[in-house]
């Protein structure tokens, strides 16, 4: 198993967890996926130690919670740099090795927000839409030139990672997932592994995500009005935050000195089983 991440402590903890769960060999590389040269260097270093990749999973993300006009151009660029270009860089690094061998599996961790943008997350939603377009263009190219290499995308629901305590926010209260369902990272990780093991085109995870995609396809205008009415309160808890003390991971990792694990603060609400809808 090869792992790439920014935060040293979080990366080391992930390495130990892989070993505890039976991985025979684990190698790590610390870098920011928005840096293309660093990603290629990390991929080559991991390949030199572990051998060529059979499966490559792209899963980096940052986000800014604010009205679109309050997100600065630099912040829009940074979110796109990590979420979208990080996916592009990882995919190109994987293809550098996979195209030589003519086989491999790439999995992009996306979101139901790749299909339906929501208030206060325009930068994040745009990045997930961009990944969707990138993958749609890549697939037929691979089918023509390298049919042994496949790309799948996993569209996630809300997941109880530390993300809601790490996003940059200009809202007055603590960010929370939109909707009434959130899932444990473990349950979602199993769905991602399933997508890696099967040559499916796309997997939508969770009943709420499936319903949101259907609603957006049938009545996007109605959904605009519903989100206008519910999207503000629906993405905040009742807990006020102090903007001067709030820390985010947009520009630098928060887990460089200390590992925070995989679970966020909505564990009591998080569900451990998910419904999958696979599309070919």
Helix H or strand E encompassing 86: helix 85-101
For residue 171, the model assigns a pLDDT of: 95
In this prediction, residue 280 carries a pLDDT of: 66
Query: How many other CB atoms are there within 10 angstroms of residue 194's CB atom?
Result: 17
> For 104-160, what is the HEC assignment?
EEEEEEEEHHHCCCCCCCHHHHHHHHHHHHHHHHHHHHHHHHCCCEEEEEEEECCEC
Q: Would you list the DSSP string of 116-129?
A: ---TT-HHHHHHHH
User: What does the alpha-carbon distance between residue 269 and residue 265 come to, in Å, rounded to a whole number?
Assistant: 9
The 10s digit of each residue's pLDDT in 135-157 is 999 999 999 999 999 999 999 99
Q: What is the mean pLDDT of each run of 10 residues along the chain (280 residues)?
A: 97 96 95 98 97 97 97 98 98 97 97 94 97 97 97 94 95 90 92 94 90 93 95 94 94 96 88 75
The confidence score (pLDDT) of residue 107 equals 98
**Domains located in the chain, CATH noted:** 59-279 (3.40.50.720)
Total residue length of the chain: 280
pLDDT value for 180: 77
- pLDDT at residue 278, as a whole number: 79
The pLDDT value given to residue 167: 97
| Among 115, 124, 232, 260, the one annotated catalytic | 124
Question: Which two structure tokens, joined as six digits, stand for 113?
Answer: 């927000």
Q: Pick the closest to residue 185 from 257, 108, 274 (CA basis).
A: 274
| pLDDT value for 57 | 98
Active site residue 232: no
H or E element at residue 246: none
């Amino acid at each position: 198993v090869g792992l790439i991440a920014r935060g040293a402590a979080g990366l080391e903890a992930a390495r130990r967890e892989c070993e505890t769960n039976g991985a025979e060999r684990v190698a790590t590389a610390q870098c920011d996926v928005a840096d293309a040269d660093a990603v290629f260097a990390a991929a080559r270093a991991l390949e030199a130690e572990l051998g060529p990749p059979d499966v490559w999973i792209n899963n980096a993300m940052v986000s800014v919670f604010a009205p679109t006009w309050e997100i600065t151009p630099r912040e829009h660029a940074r979110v796109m740099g990590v979420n979208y270009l990080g996916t592009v860089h990882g995919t190109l690094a994987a293809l550098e090795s996979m195209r030589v061998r003519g086989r491999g599996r790439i999995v992009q961790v996306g979101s139901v927000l790749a299909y339906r943008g929501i208030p206060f997350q325009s930068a994040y939603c745009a990045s997930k839409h961009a990944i969707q377009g990138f993958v749609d263009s890549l697939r037929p190219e691979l089918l023509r030139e390298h049919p042994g290499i496949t790309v799948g995308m996993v569209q996630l629901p809300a997941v109880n990672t530390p993300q809601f305590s790490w996003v940059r926010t200009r809202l007055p209260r603590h960010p929370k997932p939109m909707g009434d369902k959130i899932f444990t990272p473990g349950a979602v990780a199993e769905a991602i592994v399933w997508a890696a093991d099967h040559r499916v085109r796309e997997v939508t995870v969770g009943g709420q995500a499936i319903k949101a995609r259907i609603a957006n396809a049938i009545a996007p205008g109605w959904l605009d009005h519903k989100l206008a009415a519910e999207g503000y309160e629906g993405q905040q808890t009742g807990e006020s935050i102090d903007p001067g003390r709030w820390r985010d991971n947009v520009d630098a990792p928060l887990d460089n000195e200390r590992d925070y694990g995989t679970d966020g603060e909505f564990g009591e609400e998080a569900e451990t089983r998910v419904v999958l809808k696979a599309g070919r």
